[in-house]
């Protein structure tokens, strides 16, 4: 969407007669509610958001206090070309500065304090990996190039390990990739391909995380809370502790219409009738469903039950094949789970230790590590990050909050002789300290400073499971009159899941379609078609070959443009 298309939409005819019901209160639902009002001219009192829990935000969480410890189950790596996300927050008021928006303060902070990781990888109990190339061999670059050019339908449900040879998994690129995006070898190679297309302009910064942007505080305080307050100020109704248990859908020839919503409010069953004029937005599937927390003395319990969100999607999907196949994503918890833990450290020992590895001071509202530091030889594949401090508004100045996660919770540790999933918060910190070079007889002083809260998430990478066309429903399924799917488990051609951008894009698509608005959805940033981005990516993959970009121009591009008006551009 360019400036010519950034119009003020006309009020849709009959909008005052519609109601909107949103199932789930994650960023996709919150965004849909805002666009229903901003561009759809719907009044806030026409919009209801149902939430199973007692807090909005879904996976974008952040809570706690310095006495009991802070907790954030995950973090968000964002970039400047999240066109939908920044469009959303360009009109969400800041809650810290009058007459400023969230985008205003976000961009200003990242311009003043650009992200750059001085130490991306450590090994051998604290040695710093100083190479910045991707460690790719000729075979690996050919595999990556072929993946970029292959059609999705030709890849089918292939996994990453089925596509790449063994040598690729020994490269630094794979280490950076999997620790940034939480990719496993058994995940979909199509999703990896989409990431390559979507973020090829960021490939030169893979070893330093240059080009990424981060919030001032945790994502709940920085993004969810201001958006929720805006919606509430406009009259949007949030109904917490309420589970949607089923949808009645009338399927008649080429039309599919939601006619009723079944609710469970604090144990009481209720049925809400809906008409074709009403709109229903369903965030199908959940990455953080059935998450559980541990503490310093206890490991989190892995909850293998189905969960309300997955259960609802299964019921809906059973009504028509256009509603997707949830079993593809939620049926193998051992391939979709991993564990994170949040460290709340009061004092100087942990802070000084992490500052040494990050090679920068944790100044107020400045980037600390510049991104995650991955322990290359960790059996759990541990990574840790200390983002801008304070991460929480109620965090004291003498307290540091760090976040860590690992991809192999079923492996035994290198210091702890037990699986990560069996470890208490204390034991998780001991394993991390070991990899940071702290000997066993020195650990207690660090432990005395810290509160560690582990989080086990059974479905956290379920969106990466191998799938084919039709496994994810379209945002607007064929024939749908009033039902839209939102979030990480609907299908948006050309964009990639496990991003906030994907969720917001699904919301804009759904609202603009149902209200037939004359405003286009912001385009996906087309860096894959930018010869400058492609040339930079090629050079990054082959840094020792000084002439590779010039040969690319001479042997491929110049031949294509010979004797044309574009030849002079070269």
Contact between 132 and 540 (Cβ < 8 Å): no
* Largest Cα–Cα separation, the chain: 74
Q: What angle do CA 476, 42, 317 make, to 5 degrees?
A: 25
H or E segment at 106?
helix 102-112
What CA–CA distance (Å, rounded) separates 343 from 433?
A: 12
Cα separation, 492 vs 514, in Å, equals 16
DSSP conformation class of 557: I
**Burial zone of 463 (CB within 10 Å; 0-12 exposed, 13-18 middle, 19+ buried):** buried
Q: Which residues contact 362 (CB under 8 A, 6 or more apart)?
A: 351, 354, 355, 368, 386, 389, 400
- Annotated active-site residue in 77, 79, 449, 491: 77
Distance CA 145, CA 154 (A): 15
Distance in angstroms (rounded) separating the CA atoms of residues 33 and 21:
9
Residue of 35, 82, 195, 434 with catalytic role: 195
Q: Which residues contact 248 (CB under 8 A, 6 or more apart)?
A: 258, 259, 260, 261, 262
Q: Extract the runs of DSSP E, i.e. beta strands, from 152-241.
A: 212-213, 237-239
SS3 405: strand
Q: Is 195 a catalytic residue?
A: yes
Closest CA to 105 of 226, 233, 229: 226
Report the C-alpha gap between 382 and 435 in whole angstroms: 9
Q: Could you give the CA distance from residue 405 to residue 337 in angstroms, rounded to a whole number? A: 11
Q: 412 — phi, psi (to 5°)?
A: -75, 150
- 8 Å CB contact between 165 and 146: no
Annotated catalytic, 77?
A: yes
Say what angle helices 138-149 and 189-198 make with each other, to 10 degrees.
90
Do 70 and 395 meet the contact criterion of CB atoms below 8 Å apart?
yes
Neighbours of 171 (CB within 10 A): 17
Q: What is the CB neighbour count within 10 angstroms for residue 278?
A: 20
- Of 28, 36, 148, nearest in space to 463 by CA: 28
DSSP 383-398: EEE--SB-SSTT--TT
Question: Given the DSSP bridges, would you call strands 373-375 and 121-123 parallel, antiparallel or unpaired?
Answer: parallel
| Long-range Cβ pairs for the range 149-155 (8 Å, 24+) | 150/193, 152/190, 152/193, 153/469, 155/189, 155/190, 155/193
Q: Which of the residues are catalytic?
A: 77, 195
């Amino acid at each position: 969407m360019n400036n010519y298309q950034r119009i003020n939409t006309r009020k849709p005819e009959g909008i005052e007669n519609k109601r909107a019901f949103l199932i789930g209160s994650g960023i996709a639902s919150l965004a849909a509610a805002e666009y229903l009002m901003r561009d759809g001219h719907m009044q806030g009192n026409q919009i209801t958001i149902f939430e199973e829990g007692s807090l909005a935000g879904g996976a974008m969480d952040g809570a706690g206090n310095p006495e009991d410890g802070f907790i954030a189950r995950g973090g968000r790596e964002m970039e400047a070309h999240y066109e939908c996300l920044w469009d959303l927050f360009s009109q969400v008021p800041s809650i810290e500065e009058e007459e400023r928006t969230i985008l205003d303060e976000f961009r200003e902070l990242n311009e003043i304090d650009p992200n750059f990781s001085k130490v991306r990888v450590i090994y051998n109990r604290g040695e710093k990996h100083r190479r910045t190339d991707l460690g790719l061999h000729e075979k690996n670059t050919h595999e990556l190039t072929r993946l970029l050019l292959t059609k999705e339908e030709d890849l089918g449900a292939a996994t990453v390990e089925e596509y790449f040879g063994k040598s690729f998994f020994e490269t630094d690129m794979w280490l950076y990739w999997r620790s940034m995006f939480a990719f496993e070898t058994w995940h979909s190679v199509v999703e990896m391909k989409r990431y390559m297309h979507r973020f090829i302009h960021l490939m030169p910064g893979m070893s330093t995380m240059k080009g990424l942007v981060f919030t001032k505080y945790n994502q709940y305080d920085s993004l969810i809370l201001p958006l929720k307050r805006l919606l509430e100020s406009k009259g949007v109704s949030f109904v917490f502790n309420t589970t949607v248990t089923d949808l009645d859908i009338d399927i008649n020839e080429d039309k599919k219409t939601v006619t009723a919503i079944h609710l469970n409010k604090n144990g009481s069953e209720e049925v809400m009738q809906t008409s074709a004029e009403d709109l229903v937005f369903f965030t199908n599937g959940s990455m953080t469903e059935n998450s559980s927390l541990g503490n310093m003395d206890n490991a989190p319990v892995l909850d293998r039950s189905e969960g309300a969100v997955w259960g609802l999607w299964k019921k809906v999907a059973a009504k028509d094949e256009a509603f997707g196949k949830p079993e593809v994503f939620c049926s193998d918890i051992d391939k979709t789970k991993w564990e994170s833990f949040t460290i709340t450290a009061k004092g100087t020992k942990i802070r000084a230790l992490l500052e040494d590895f990050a090679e920068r001071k944790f100044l107020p509202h400045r980037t600390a590590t510049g991104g995650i530091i991955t322990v290359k030889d960790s059996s759990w594949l541990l990574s840790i990050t200390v983002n801008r401090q304070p991460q929480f508004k109620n965090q004291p100045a003498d307290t540091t909050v760090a976040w860590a996660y690992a991809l192999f919770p079923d492996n035994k540790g290198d210091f702890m002789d037990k699986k990560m999933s069996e470890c208490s918060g204390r034991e998780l910190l001991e394993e991390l300290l070991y990899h940071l070079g702290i000997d066993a007889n020195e650990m207690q002083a660090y432990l005395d400073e810290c509160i560690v809260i582990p989080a086990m998430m059974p479905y956290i990478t379920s969106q990466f499971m191998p799938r084919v066309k039709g496994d994810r429903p379209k945002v607007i399924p064929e024939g749908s009159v009033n039902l839209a799917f939102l979030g990480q488990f609907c299908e948006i051609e050309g964009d990639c899941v496990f991003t906030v951008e994907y969720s917001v894009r699904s919301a804009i698509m759904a609202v603009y379609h149902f209200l037939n608005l004359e405003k286009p959805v912001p385009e996906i940033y087309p860096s894959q078609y930018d010869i400058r981005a492609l040339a930079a990516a090629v050079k990054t993959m082959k840094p020792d070959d000084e002439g590779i970009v010039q040969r690319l121009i001479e042997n491929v591009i110049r031949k294509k443009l010979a004797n044309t008006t574009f030849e002079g551009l070269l």
